[in-house]
Structure formats: C-alpha cells, structure tokens
C-alpha cells in the first residue's frame, strides 16, 4: 500500500507492506540509521522516536499507522548543522560512552522535557526508565537532561507539566 510519512519535516511517499515496522522503514527505506535496532521487542528503547511529540518505540509501531503523523528521529533535531541543546548537553556532561543508546535516550528526553520543562531528578529517572544504557552512564545522562530542563544541574527543581494531560505510562517503569 502507498503511504505518505512525514519524517523530520519532509514528506516521503512510500509503497509499504502493511506489516513493516516504522524502525525498519526509517533505517532501510529512508536511510535514517541514527534510530538503532537492538531488541526489536520494545525492551531497550534504542529505537525511540517521536510520533507527534510522544516518545514511542519504533520497533513496536507499524509504519502504515503513522500516515499523517509527524515523525521525528535523532537526525531531525539538528538545526543548520548545529546540535540541539539536548544533544549538546549529552556531549558536555559525558552522557554517552559507546553512544549506541544515545539517540533513543535523547528522543525520550525530548518528549519528557516537552511535558515537564523543569523536571525533578525522580521525573527524569522515571521518564527514561524504558531506555537502557549498558555502559552505565545513567548519572551523566540524568545530569545532561536536568541541565537542559533547569539551565543548570536542576537538582531540587519541582516538575511542572505543561498541560493537564497525565504522562503516558512507561511499561518498564514498574509502579506508580
């Protein structure tokens, strides 16, 4: 079937089989390999992208279901060749070691900061709990996100949602 996907602000008309996952279409058909393919089961978060501003695991989403939605990948964050402020914060705070999980971590953090511009440390931990870092760079990742949210280290900042919408539950958060 023919679908039109809007990825990083650009329209792409593609003929796709209905069972194709968004992850595979992004990587294979569109060449956007910043979105990583690791578990392909929604367990690691490396494939996180934004779908209309909401963080989703692209390995669990059928591409044909995304027609008419805005899809943002890690490649869509840079502006005029400059890193997004969150990408820059990850670099400044050493929020990456091998870098493999970094695109998914950043995309999940973008969604979190859109909902909670000044998150608490606990909110950041909860918001990124579905994204695994096998190198163990969590303290630096949290520092990077908090620095963007608060303009500094962000510790002690109370999170305030930007809307009355409750946050989308994370299946990996465990509790609350």
Looking up residue 163, the CATH number of its domain turns out to be 1.10.150.120
pTM across the whole model? 0.84
Return the H-helix or E-strand segment holding 14.
strand 10-15
pLDDT by residue (tens digit) across 50-90?
Answer: 999 999 999 999 999 999 999 999 999 998 989 999 999 99
Query: Which residues are 14's β-sheet partners?
Result: 3
Residues 70 and 93 in one domain: no
Dump pLDDT digits (tens) for 133-170: 999 899 999 999 999 987 643 333 444 445 444 444 45
Range of 87's domain? 79-176
Residues in contact with 169: Cβ distance below 8 Å, sequence separation at least 6, in sequence order:
none
How crowded is residue 90: how many other Cβ atoms within 10 Å of its Cβ? 26
**What angle, rounded to 10 degrees, do the helices at 138-150 and 102-115 form?**
30
* 94 pLDDT above the threshold of 70: yes
Q: Is the pLDDT of residue 97 over 80?
A: yes
Question: Using CA atoms, how far apart are residues 132 and 148, in angstroms rounded to an integer?
Answer: 20
Residues 49 and 72 reside in one and the same domain: yes
Same domain for 131 and 142, yes or no, is: yes
Do 27 and 94 belong together in one domain? no
Please identify, among 76, 109, 128, the residue that sits at the C-terminal boundary of a domain: 76
Among 43, 76, 109, residue at a domain's last position: 76
Determine the distance from the C-alpha atom of residue 158 to the mean position of all C-alpha atoms in its chain, rounded to a whole number.
22
């Amino acid at each position: 079937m023919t679908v039109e996907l809007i990825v990083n602000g650009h329209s792409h008309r593609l003929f796709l089989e209905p069972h194709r996952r968004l992850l595979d279409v992004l990587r294979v058909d569109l060449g956007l390999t910043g979105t990583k393919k690791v578990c392909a089961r929604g367990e690691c978060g490396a494939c996180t992208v934004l779908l209309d501003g909401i963080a989703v695991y692209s390995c669990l989403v059928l591409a044909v279901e995304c027609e008419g939605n805005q899809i943002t990948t890690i490649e869509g964050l840079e502006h005029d060749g400059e890193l997004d402020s969150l990408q820059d914060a990850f670099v400044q705070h050493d929020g990456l070691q091998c870098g493999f999980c970094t695109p998914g971590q950043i995309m999940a953090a973008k969604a979190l900061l859109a909902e909670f511009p000044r998150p608490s440390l606990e909110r950041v931990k909860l918001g990124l709990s579905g994204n695994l870092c096998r190198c163990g760079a969590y303290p630096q990742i949290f520092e990077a996100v908090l620095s963007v949210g608060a303009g500094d280290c962000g510790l002690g900042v109370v999170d305030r949602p930007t809307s009355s919408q409750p946050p989308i539950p994370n299946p990996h958060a465990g509790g609350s």
